Amino acid sequence: MKKIFLLASLLFGTLGAQAQSVEVSLGTGALLNGQLKLEGMYHLDDMKTVNLEMRLINNELTSDDATVLAAATGFVLSPEFIMYFDNSADDNEGMYLGAYARFKSMATSGWEEFDDNFNLVAANFTQTALGAGLNLGWHGALENGITVRVYAGAGYNAVNTITHTDTYESSLSLVYGVPFHVRSGINIGYRF
C-alpha cells in the first residue's frame, strides 16, 4: 500500500511540476445559440497546450406560444493539441495552430418536411461523426488570470453516419451528411 501511495505521489508531483497552469473557459458564442460549451486547458510548457472541448447541443424550433415544434440534441467532445508560434508573447499566449479530433452525436425530434406531394412528413435523423481538423487562433491572458481565446478552423469527418429514424430522407440530414465541418469560438476563461 505504501509503494502505491509513493508511486502515485511521485507521478502526480511530476505532472504538477511540468505544467505551467490549468485553464477553464466558457464558449460565449455557443451560449448565444442556446448551447453550453466548456473547455479545459492544460499548459504543457511555454509553447504547447492540450485542450478538451465539451459542448452540449440543444437547438429548438418553437412556435409563437413557445411550444417546441422540433429539436436537435446531442454532444460534441473534441481534444486538441495547440502549438503557439508567437515567441514575443508571454507563455501560452499569442497566435497558435491547433490540431483537433472531434466526436459528435446528435438526434432530431419533431422535425417535419414537405414531401414531393407537399404533405408534411416526419423527417427525424441521428448523426454520429468522428473527424479531425486544424484551428488558427489567438489566445491572451490578463495579469488577473482572465483569458480570451478566438479561433476558427475546418475539418473532415472520416466517419459521418446519418440514420433516418423515420422513412423520409430529410433535406436537413443531407446538409449534416456533408463530411466537412467548421469550428469557431470566442471563449472567456480563467487561468489558475
Rounded Cα distance between 190 and 192, Å, is 7
Q: What is the mean pLDDT of the chain?
A: 86
Stretch among 77-86, 113-122, 136-145 having the lowest mean pLDDT? 113-122
Q: Which amino acid is at 83?
A: M
pLDDT tier at 3, thresholds 50, 70, 90: low
The four Cα atoms 31, 138, 132, 163 give a dihedral, to 10 degrees, of 20
- Over 50: is that where the pLDDT of 16 sits? no
pLDDT tier at 173, thresholds 50, 70, 90: confident
Q: What is the mean pLDDT of residues 32-52?
A: 91
pLDDT tier at 106, thresholds 50, 70, 90: very high
Ordered DSSP codes for 70-99: EEEEEEEEEEEEEEE--TTS-TT-EEEEEE
Q: Which amino acid is at 16?
A: G
Q: What is the mean pLDDT of residues 160-170?
A: 84
Hey, where are the domains in the chain? 20-191
The cell for 98 is: 491547433
Is residue 118 classed as helix, strand or coil in its secondary structure? Answer: coil
Q: Which residues 6+ apart lie within 8 Å of 81 measured at CB?
A: 48, 49, 50, 51, 98, 99, 100
Architecture of domain 20-191: Beta Barrel (2.40)
